[in-house]
Structure 1
Amino acid sequence: MPLGQRQGDRSDSRYCGVETEFDDDMPQVLALNLSGGFDFIAAPLIDPNYRPSLVKNDGSGAGALPFAGSDLVLTPSQWSSHVVGKISSWIDLDSEDEILRMDSEIALKQEISWASHLSLQACLLPSPRRSSCGNYARCVNQILQGLNNMQLWLRVPLEKSELMDDDTGDENCDRLSGGRELDTWEWWNSFRLLCEHHNQLSVAVDILSSLPSANSLGRWFGEPVKAAIIHTDSFLTNSRGYPCLSKRHQKLMAGLFNHSVQILISGKLIHNISLENSESLPANHNDNHVEGIARHPLKSYLDYIGYLYQRMDPLPEQERFEFGYRDFLQSPLQPLMDNLEAQTYETFEKDTVKYSQYQRAVYKALLDRVPDEKASTTTTVLMVVGAGRGPLVRASLQAAEETGRKLKVYAVEKNPNAVVTLHSLIKLEGWENIVTIVSSDMRFWDAPEKADILVSELLGSFGDNELSPECLDGAQRFLKPDGISIPSSYTSFIQPVTASKLYNDVKSHKDVAHFETAYVVKLHSVARLAPSKPVFTFTHPDHSTNQSNQRYKKLKFEMPSDTGSVMVHGFAGYFDATLYKDVHLGIEPTMATPNMFSWFAIFFPLRTPVCVRPGSPLEVHFWRCCGSTKVWYEWCVTSPSASPIHNPNGRSYWVGL
């Protein structure tokens, strides 16, 4: 693997290939490129001069089709591991020329059938020639219905240009619609909609010498981009004649590496590096670079791509911990209805950042509650409601020790299994005279005295989705009128996202129920399309007379003007909580607590993804609904087009009281 291995890198997908021309001698082509350091080739499987209409047919039907060589020239392992099939570039399935169109249809099916026979992992489809590609998509969709595990990569140039006139005479005009700006993302979007978001249809982006805006590029990280083809004429030349990339291209490459996108180098040698210049190559290039340049004309480009990869910062410890959870849909916990298992407690208790924040909050609350002159005579009553296996009890007692305040703690926990561990902890730490364990649901416990401070960790990924409001409403009756709740408030947020992988994973269940369920997920292959906005806020204690935990919010999102059209597959949800005064805790991206892993985001899918055009706002409605036995969310989009209201009456997803 020429791109090397970085510390903490757990991915096996950082490969670099090379695009080749047709050659009858496939073993020699493969050997030359593998010995040059490349992992695979994207090679035409068929002679580009072949046209079905030119083949003479004697009507006997005998003999093999005369469009390909033998599959025996390479081993099955070589075909599947080192070759991506490149479908003929002359194919034009939307041509006005009927003979060309029919030839294209026959050839496309023959070539993909042959590639499938060879057990190739992927085929590279030629880029659409125009914005209207209905017949091309129809033929590909037909093929997808019976395809084995092979992926089809639709080649799409990364291009988004300014407005052009219809009568420019430029061949690109056919790609425009009514004088609109050229945005090749629209080609991809039209194609995948016609193919119903098929999960074997992916993208290979062509990286050109000029790039669209950062927001326009950002859309692609939520799409199924499997390969990036970078052309040799996209490289600049450094002061000593060596190929390099612009800062913007380097940033794009880092994003592609981070999303395990395979790299393909395409084109001819432009930077003719002499051996005298070899001493100027980056120090951490492959040691055999001089030999490599002699052996393969594109080795200098490969070395530079490897250099960019190896100089990336290693994955932080938190990212390494979360790597296996990336884009994996999980059902949210229901700790009120279900008793958590030991393994779940174990995972959350390792989050030292969360408990240090709670300790800071209790520390500040104790200092405000008890002045220095009363520290030795006043005992603060602190109740941990939902004590679990005791980490908040420990954090509270450490805060008391730091402040020199006296504390009396009630540890209230409904899970009888966790209570067993609590008793053991209290005995082990010698806290019997300080901590009283209460095995009860906080909503139904009759406290023997009122609390000065109420501490809880009942927050879910969306803030209120694990029923913190309902639990704390039940517990606040034993909080003194001037008592302190930690947390004191929390707000949920949503953000529209492109999330093709998540959408296809939900779609694979083939039912409505999964589209009406909110999932906890470590978001990775997503494009965040607009800044998040607040949805529901809860404050504790809540002494209002007209107390209700039902909520409704209408939100309007404006996409950045330079992004272009986007596809919204659903909404990412986050929370931010104020524990006490200036002590915060949360996962909203712009103000997330660093190095905290107790919560992933929540994902609300849309049954039908919504395409949002430039200048068109996205209007979203969210409801938090409460019944006698459950709480649930409903959501919908009303602009630019109306979606169904998801999850009416909590028919698919709800949280049990």
Structure 2
Amino acid sequence: MPLGERGDKSDSRYSGVETEFNDDMPQILSFNIDGGFDFVVSPLIDPSYRPSLSDSYNNGHVIPPFAGSDLVVSPSQWSSRVVGKISSWIDLDSEDQILQKDSEIALKQEIAWASHLSLQACLLPTPKGSSCANYARCVNQILQNLNNMQLWLRIPLEKCDDDATNGVSDHSNRGQIDSWETWNHFRLLCEHHNQLSIGLDVLCSLPSANSLGRWFGEPVRAAIIHTNSFLTNTRGYPCLSKRHQKLMTRFFNHSIQIVVSGAPVHNLPTGVLELDANHTDNHIDSIQRHPLRAYLDYVAYLYYKMEPLPDQERFELGYRDFLQSPLQPLMDNLEAQTYETFEKDTVKYLQYQRAISKALLDRISDEDASKITTVLMVVGAGRGPLVRASLQAAEETGRKLRVYAVEKNPNAIVTLHSLVKMEGWENIVTIVSSDMRCWDAPEKADILVSELLGSFGDNELSPECLDGAQRFLKQDGISVPSSYTSFIQPVTTSKLYNDVKSYKDLVHFETAYVVKLHHVARLAPTQPVFTFTHPDNSTTKCNQRYKKIQFEIPHDTGAVMVHGFAGYFDSMLYKDVHLGIEPSTATPNMFSWFPIFFPLRTPVCVQPGAPLEVHFWRRCGSSKVWYEWCVTKPTASPVHNSNGRSYWVGL
């Protein structure tokens, strides 16, 4: 019984239960599935089994005591209803050589059996002690030849309180180690393998919000919540603290499945659960209760309580964490479908209309409104949405307009001619089929309007285009937009890093991607990078830029892994009318731009209190513009995309 339906159909609507070993797998499944859970996390082998105690240990013909043969349940049940739980006694870094050898044999046997059963995942035990090198080596070896099965490394959600020691953790005491660092050491030893993920143990106490945030950029597949982490409400039923509730909602939103673990610790009525004020009645009926059903019902209650996805989020679902190459509208002609998508963004064009209205009011007084005609040029008119916004602004303000719609795409020109004829704009709008940098305008413009902005502000070459068009703007003319600034912030995003790594080449690590960021941890507030202002009346125009930026990761976050940098922009269209995607000031309900992502070839681990120093360059050549970037603190990285060898924007 999935927890419920949501627009994203995510895996988080499926909930599991951790069980003890039972060699009767059909009984385990029927009991727990009938009890409301969607899958079980169950040991595959008798926990008392040790290879060294077997009579066949020396000749290698031992048959381990698995939980039934592959025939006891159907293949579809094995693959969809069972997550294998690898024996918790396994310790490959033990000083005891026999235990170490037993552990390696058992681990390989159990994963081989799970692979034979086509399980979707196996839960690996938490690394023991301060070292996990041999454990990671063995897992990495297994991963090299594993089928599509995921390995979930069990990690407790804990972080030591190291504020008093200025970020220096006492690694001699296992209980004081930040569990994120345990995970990080393990995945580094396993080379960031994309089939290695996390089963996160949620405990009674939680780390700081910043520390928790790190995990949402990591490959967490399941959150295992223990019954002793639940509180008791006034009716005697299990509930969670406000912080736990908020965390659970974030798990749901990131497609992380919930697994209930442990024995019941609440004295619940036997038989049927009474309808409680804190529960919906969707799944409460007169059935015999599973001992953990009250916990499942509470998880379902939290799921149902979530706000439905907004329309914009539903629209963007298919783009989440999907790498796209940025558009090159100057070098390439856009297709009709691309125009169609952007033209649906009504918020963007309303902002442009507001900006143009204010510019018209400032330009022409009420007394002159009927006598003076404002010359407005839309450069890069596309299929006409900015032409329409400009004419609506003129109607709104009672100002007279003469519009030039300049567009280089001959296919869009066809649509523009049709639009002008259909709307009856022949006496107002002149269509110009030309690149704005080459056109000789018959008169100067009072207002120059463009929508040449990219996800990083200048990455679709707005500065170069508007520099070329500025010659036909009056000396006191207005540019809409008047300025724009790019921003970056460091992020953890294991998903995107592995997607880039899968190409196995340098080019993709030196390419910037447009991406709807979802499984990402934003590690520090954004900082500005490059700013461009229009019109630019300086005598020495230069669109090359360089910026050194230092980020401070909040101290209570703990150590972090930086996989790259998320990029955004904010633009002032005119005066106080702004447009942008920088998170703290983003224009609500606008979907024309997703952030840009600059990956790092080698992720950088930043310890608490250590600065992260980043360098960004915008470089210009005769036929292309490109970015270069690198990290110099805490460790130095190569300069990415030197001389635009991998990624550039064509002029």
TM-score in terms of structure 2 length: 0.97
Q: CA RMSD in A?
A: 1.8
In 2, the alpha carbon distance for the partners of 1:556 and 1:538 equals: 21
Deviation at 1:59, TM superposition (A): 6.8
The answer on whether the counterparts of 1:164 and 1:181 sit within 8 Å (CA) in structure 2 is: no
SS at match of 1:187: helix
List per-residue Cα deviations over 1:596-637 (Å, max 9, x = no partner).
000000000000000000000100000000000000000000
Paired residue for 2:537? 543
Matched, 1:288 2:287: no
SS at match of 2:318: helix
Paired residue for 1:185? 180
Matched, 1:279 2:275: yes
Paired residue for 2:239? 244
Paired residue for 1:628? 622
In 1, the alpha carbon distance for the partners of 2:11 and 2:95 equals: 44
Deviation at 1:208, TM superposition (A): 0.3
Q: Which moved more, 1:381-390 or 1:23-32?
A: 23-32
In 2, the alpha carbon distance for the partners of 1:19 and 1:428 equals: 65
The answer on whether the counterparts of 1:285 and 1:304 sit within 8 Å (CA) in structure 2 is: no
Deviation at 1:69, TM superposition (A): 3.1
In 2, the alpha carbon distance for the partners of 1:273 and 1:180 equals: 33
Identity of aligned residues (%): 78
Paired residue for 2:137? 138
2:171 is matched with which residue: 170, 176, 194?
A: 176
SS at match of 1:522: coil
In 1, the alpha carbon distance for the partners of 2:583 and 2:460 equals: 21
Paired residue for 1:80? 79
2:523 is matched with which residue: 511, 526, 529?
A: 529
In 2, the alpha carbon distance for the partners of 1:566 and 1:58 equals: 43
The answer on whether the counterparts of 2:23 and 2:66 sit within 8 Å (CA) in structure 1 is: no
The answer on whether the counterparts of 1:242 and 1:281 sit within 8 Å (CA) in structure 2 is: no
SS at match of 2:555: coil
Paired residue for 1:170? none
In 1, the alpha carbon distance for the partners of 2:557 and 2:40 equals: 33
In 1, the alpha carbon distance for the partners of 2:321 and 2:268 equals: 43
Paired residue for 1:259? 254
SS at match of 1:491: strand
Kindly tell me: are residues 179 and 447 of structure 1, through their superposed partners in 2, closer, same or farther at Cα, counting changes over 3 Å?
Answer: same
Paired residue for 2:52? 53
2:478 is matched with which residue: 470, 481, 484?
A: 484
Deviation at 1:63, TM superposition (A): 7.3
SS at match of 1:288: coil
In 2, the alpha carbon distance for the partners of 1:458 and 1:423 equals: 21
In 2, the alpha carbon distance for the partners of 1:63 and 1:217 equals: 44
Paired residue for 2:298? 304
Deviation at 1:64, TM superposition (A): 4.2
The answer on whether the counterparts of 2:122 and 2:151 sit within 8 Å (CA) in structure 1 is: yes
The answer on whether the counterparts of 2:91 and 2:128 sit within 8 Å (CA) in structure 1 is: yes
Q: Which moved more, 1:23-32 or 1:36-45?
A: 23-32
1:422 is matched with which residue: 413, 416, 421?
A: 416
Kindly tell me: are residues 64 and 160 of structure 1, through their superposed partners in 2, closer, same or farther at Cα, counting changes over 3 Å?
Answer: closer
Kindly tell me: are residues 59 and 131 of structure 1, through their superposed partners in 2, closer, same or farther at Cα, counting changes over 3 Å?
Answer: closer
Matched, 1:114 2:113: yes
List per-residue Cα deviations over 1:63-95 (Å, max 9, x = no partner).
745555311111111110100000000000000
In 2, the alpha carbon distance for the partners of 1:312 and 1:188 equals: 30
The answer on whether the counterparts of 2:511 and 2:598 sit within 8 Å (CA) in structure 1 is: yes
In 2, the alpha carbon distance for the partners of 1:57 and 1:164 equals: 53
Paired residue for 2:222? 227
List per-residue Cα deviations over 1:404-446 (Å, max 9, x = no partner).
1000000000000000000000000000000000000000100
Amino acid at match of 2:127: P
Deviation at 1:546, TM superposition (A): 1.1
SS at match of 2:326: coil
Amino acid at match of 1:653: Y
Matched, 1:347 2:341: yes
Deviation at 1:282, TM superposition (A): 3.1
The answer on whether the counterparts of 1:240 and 1:277 sit within 8 Å (CA) in structure 2 is: no
List per-residue Cα deviations over 1:567-601 (Å, max 9, x = no partner).
00000000000000000000000000000000000
List per-residue Cα deviations over 1:457-482 (Å, max 9, x = no partner).
00000000000000000000000000
Q: Which runs of 5 or more structure 2 residues have no equivalent in the other structure?
A: none
The answer on whether the counterparts of 1:286 and 1:303 sit within 8 Å (CA) in structure 2 is: no
Paired residue for 2:351? 357
SS at match of 1:409: strand
Matched, 1:369 2:363: yes
SS at match of 2:101: helix
In 2, the alpha carbon distance for the partners of 1:634 and 1:158 equals: 37
Q: Which runs of 5 or more structure 1 residues have no equivalent in the other structure?
A: 167-173
In 2, the alpha carbon distance for the partners of 1:582 and 1:467 equals: 24
Deviation at 1:288, TM superposition (A): 3.0
Aligned length: 648
In 2, the alpha carbon distance for the partners of 1:178 and 1:110 equals: 32
List per-residue Cα deviations over 1:207-265 (Å, max 9, x = no partner).
00000000000000000000000000000000110100000000000000000101100
Deviation at 1:163, TM superposition (A): 4.5
TM-score in terms of structure 1 length: 0.96
The answer on whether the counterparts of 1:163 and 1:179 sit within 8 Å (CA) in structure 2 is: no
In 2, the alpha carbon distance for the partners of 1:398 and 1:99 equals: 81
In 1, the alpha carbon distance for the partners of 2:172 and 2:421 equals: 75
Paired residue for 1:335? 329
In 2, the alpha carbon distance for the partners of 1:97 and 1:175 equals: 24
